[in-house]
């Protein structure tokens, strides 16, 4: 009995050490997680990551994300979508297949879909066609829209505005735009995802400046690792010294022991939250709790 009491106390202490975190974007269907996903999920749990959204970027990966959500209920949730890079492969059959995946309760959003004019994997015309169909699906199913946008802000705003009256919650995954674009999205009620991109974006109107100047209100922010990509480099020269100094040893341990530029993991999320908190001049606990609450609200998680 005494041993059990000690064990319970230790478990409670461990929980108290952790922030309450939700990773709004972890690409766990990526082949880099093919051999040790169980260990990756355990490390995430140990770091305080309660839940993870695994986005689909094609019909195939949407099905795979749904499979993971069923294997790990209440921990992993999936989305169903066709990424703008893959818009050239869009067909009417894609829409019916996405609908069948999105109808499942484990699937909590439509996407990743959107517009990307930074790379020309698919033409803008094909991207717009696929995106519009997925917006209509989100409106039909009343599920949030999980959006990818690069260098396409004006077209994105115009497109979303067309569906203003029936649009569900909108989440811009891995936001990397400027201050004016952020303000426009927030005024539209859109939620923005912050990733490790902030470690290298110290431009005059970049992510760091936006956070320092409180240009991004906390009630419209979510945090995401975008694993295995966008490693939040704690040693980045573009990070202000007070941000590097504000990282706790516990978060650094998860970040530096298990994550690399080649493979980021959800367990890096505490370090990212501490960076955001330092830039906002808020406590990490406040940022963790607020962003987790936002994720619960946007995606309707239990």
Binding site for a divalent metal cation, by residue number, is 148, 173, 226
As a whole number of angstroms, the longest Cα–Cα distance in the chain is 68
- Which residues are part of a known binding site? 148, 173, 226
Q: Is 109 helix (H, G, I), strand (E, B) or coil?
A: strand
Cβ neighbours around 74 below 10 Å, total: 11
Q: Is 264 helix (H, G, I), strand (E, B) or coil?
A: coil
Rounded to the nearest 10 degrees, the angle between the axes of helix 124-141 and helix 92-102 is 30
Q: Tell me how many degrees the CA angle 199-181-20 measures, rounded to the nearest 5.
A: 50
Spatial separation of the C-alpha atoms in residues 228 and 35, rounded to whole Å:
14
Pairing mode, if any, of strands 170-172 and 191-194? parallel
From residue 62, how far is each of 95, 109, 176, 290 by CA, in Å?
12, 11, 24, 28
Spatial separation of the C-alpha atoms in residues 1 and 265, rounded to whole Å:
37
Spatial separation of the C-alpha atoms in residues 64 and 84, rounded to whole Å:
19
Q: Is 42 helix (H, G, I), strand (E, B) or coil?
A: helix
Q: Tell me how many degrees the CA angle 257-263-268 measures, rounded to the nearest 5.
A: 50
Retrieve residue 83's tokens.
């990424």
**Cβ 60 vs Cβ 36: under 8 Å:** no
């Amino acid at each position: 009995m005494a041993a059990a009491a000690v064990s319970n106390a230790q478990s409670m202490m461990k929980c108290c050490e952790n922030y309450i975190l939700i990773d709004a974007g972890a690409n766990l269907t990526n082949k880099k997680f093919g051999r040790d996903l169980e260990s990756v999920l355990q490390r995430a749990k140990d770091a305080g990551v309660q839940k993870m959204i695994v986005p689909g970027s094609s019909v195939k990966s949407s099905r795979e994300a749904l499979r993971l959500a069923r294997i790990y209920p209440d921990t992993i949730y999936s989305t169903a979508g066709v990424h703008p890079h893959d818009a050239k492969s869009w067909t009417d059959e894609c829409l019916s297949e996405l609908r069948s995946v999105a109808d499942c309760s484990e699937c909590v959003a439509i996407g990743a879909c959107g517009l990307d004019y930074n790379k020309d994997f698919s033409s803008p015309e094909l991207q717009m066609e696929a995106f519009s169909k997925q917006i209509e699906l989100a409106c039909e199913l009343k599920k949030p829209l999980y959006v990818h946008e690069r260098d396409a802000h004006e077209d994105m705003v115009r497109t979303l505005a067309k569906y203003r009256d029936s649009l569900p919650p909108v989440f811009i995954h891995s936001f990397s735009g400027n201050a004016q674009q952020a303000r426009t999205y927030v005024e539209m009620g859109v939620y923005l995802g912050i990733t490790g991109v902030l470690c290298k974006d110290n431009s005059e109107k970049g992510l760091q400046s936006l956070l320092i100047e409180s240009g991004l209100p906390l009630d419209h922010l979510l945090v995401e690792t975008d694993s295995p990509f966008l490693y939040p480099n704690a040693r980045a020269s573009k990070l202000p010294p007070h941000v590097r100094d504000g990282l706790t040893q516990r978060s650094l341990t998860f970040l530096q022991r298990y994550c690399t530029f080649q493979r980021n993991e959800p367990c890096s999320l505490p370090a990212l939250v501490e960076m955001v908190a330092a830039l906002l001049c808020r406590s990490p606990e406040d940022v963790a709790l607020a962003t987790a609450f936002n994720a619960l609200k946007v995606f309707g998680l239990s």
